[in-house]
């Protein structure tokens, strides 16, 4: 008898792998989509944060501070800035948490839930960013108008108010478009995964 035949017997009697993979796990592996999408949301969130902050450090801060002093807004900008950072860090932590959770889940129900949670986080994040920009713009505008209030007549005041309104809406619109592009595509993919998962859940 061949030497290898002995080993063949041992080979045939080897146990099956202890970690049996379920069809859902197979599906998730084959797709490997949801977790990578959520990972991208996390990475883009951080990249955006780093980019915007480096813009801030590149700008002439003395100049900016002088403007704020003139407008009597130093305190407002300081505290709103701190609050903004706290909330931003909160969202980044949330993004990370979502990513961790999605890579570790095993059941369809939990995975679907996590996808919904991630979508909600991103939506809140975008709303927060837009709201923050809107509030800062409005406050700065009102402060500027207040300073020049005596020199301006009603007609000019209305015109300036109108221009500021248009500019704000334009900026917000652009920002919204930017976010739509940045996160919208990822969320759409995530939504498609969600639909596929819900179909899969029905057949199981």
Partner 1 sequence: MQKDLETKFLSEFEQNQNIAHKICRVYTTNQSAHNDLFQEITIQLWKNYPKFRGDSKFSTWMYRVALNTAISLYRKSTKTIKTQDIGEIAYKIKATDYDNTEEVQLKALYKAIHKLNDIDKALIFLYLEDKPYKEISETLGISSVNARVKMNRAKDKLKNILKP
| CA angle (60 as vertex; 54, 64 as ends), nearest 5 | 110
- Do the Cβ atoms of 96 and 42 come closer than 8 Å? yes
Max Cα separation, the chain?
109
| Of residues 15 and 154, the one with the C-beta less far from partner 1 | 15
> Distance (Å, rounded) from C-alpha 190 to C-alpha 58?
35
Non-local (6+) Cβ contacts of 56 within 8 A are: none
| Of residues 134 and 200, the one with the C-beta less far from partner 1 | 200
Residues in 17-76 at the binding interface with partner 1, rule: CB under 8 A: 17-18, 20-23, 26-27, 29-32
Residue 192 engages partner 1 in binding (rule: CB under 8 A):
no
Residues in 92-131 at the binding interface with partner 1, rule: CB under 8 A: none
| Of residues 190 and 197, the one with the C-beta less far from partner 1 | 197
Q: Which of 8, 120, 123, 156 binds partner 1 (CB under 8 A)?
A: 8
How far is residue 41 CA from its own chain's centroid? 6
List contacts with partner 1 (CB under 8 A). 3-4, 6-18, 20-23, 26-27, 29-32, 199-200, 203
């Amino acid at each position: 008898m061949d030497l290898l035949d002995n080993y063949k017997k041992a080979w045939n009697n080897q146990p099956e792998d202890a970690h049996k993979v379920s069809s859902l796990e197979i599906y998730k592996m084959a797709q490997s989509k949801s977790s990578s999408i959520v990972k991208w949301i996390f990475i883009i969130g951080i990249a955006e944060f780093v980019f915007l902050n480096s813009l801030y450090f590149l700008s002439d801060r003395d100049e900016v501070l002088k403007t704020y002093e003139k407008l009597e807004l130093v305190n407002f900008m300081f505290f709103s800035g701190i609050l903004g950072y706290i909330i931003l860090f909160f969202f980044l932590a949330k993004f990370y948490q979502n990513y961790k959770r999605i890579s570790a889940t095993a059941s369809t129900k939990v995975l679907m839930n996590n996808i919904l949670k991630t979508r909600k986080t991103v939506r809140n994040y975008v709303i927060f960013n837009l709201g923050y920009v809107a509030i800062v713009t409005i406050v700065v505008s009102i402060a500027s108008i207040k300073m020049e209030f005596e020199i301006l007549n009603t007609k000019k005041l209305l015109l300036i108010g109108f221009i500021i309104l248009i500019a704000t809406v334009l900026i917000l619109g652009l920002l919204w478009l930017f976010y739509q592009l940045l996160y919208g595509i990822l969320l759409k993919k995530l939504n498609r995964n969600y639909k596929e998962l819900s179909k899969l859940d029905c057949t199981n």
